[in-house]
Amino acid sequence: MVTSSAHERRAGARSTYLISMAACPTHRGLDRLGDSWVSLILKELADGPRRHGELARAVAGATQKMLTQTLQALQRDGLVARSVIDSIPPRVEYRLTPLGETLLPVMAMVTEWAERHIGDIDTARATYDSVTSN
């Protein structure tokens, strides 16, 4: 099993605070979106279906392992659909499900925010570092 987040897992181990956060949808949602390669994959699939190999190239930097793993997680959550056209060689296509498409506007907003403010963050970071560590 590849799916449940670190928190879910740990929450299962000890008994406490299941209540306080496990049920928070926002937290859970961000947990998915934050999952390292999700944003890149989603961005790629936003333009239409992609084959496995195409994704591998587009999302360069992701290990093949991570790519498959992430795609499976997205599939499990019903955000991405996988279809096999078995021929030789095999073709596998991934596409957004309708549910997955509802994510695009959200992603767009995050992107807009990030592009607008990433500079401020870098500045703040540089300032903080120079003040702190010298």
Where do contacts with DNA occur on this chain (CB under 7 A)? Answer: 5-6, 9-10, 14, 35-36, 51-53, 56, 62-66, 68-69, 71-72, 82, 84, 89-92
Q: Per CB under 8 A, does 7 bind its own copies?
A: yes
Which CB atom, from 63 or from 102, has the smaller least distance to DNA?
63
Among 12, 49, 76, 83, binds its own copies (CB under 8 A): 76
Q: Per CB under 8 A, does 88 bind its own copies?
A: no
Q: In what order do the strands lie in the sheet with 91-96?
A: 50-51, 91-96, 80-85
Among 9, 83, 91, 129, binds its own copies (CB under 8 A): 129
Q: Between the CA atoms of 69, 73, 76 and 80, what dihedral angle is there, to the nearest 10 degrees?
A: -90
Chosen from its own copies, DNA, none, partner binding at 120 (C-beta under 5 to 8 Å by type): its own copies
Which CB atom, from 89 or from 105, has the smaller least distance to its own copies?
105
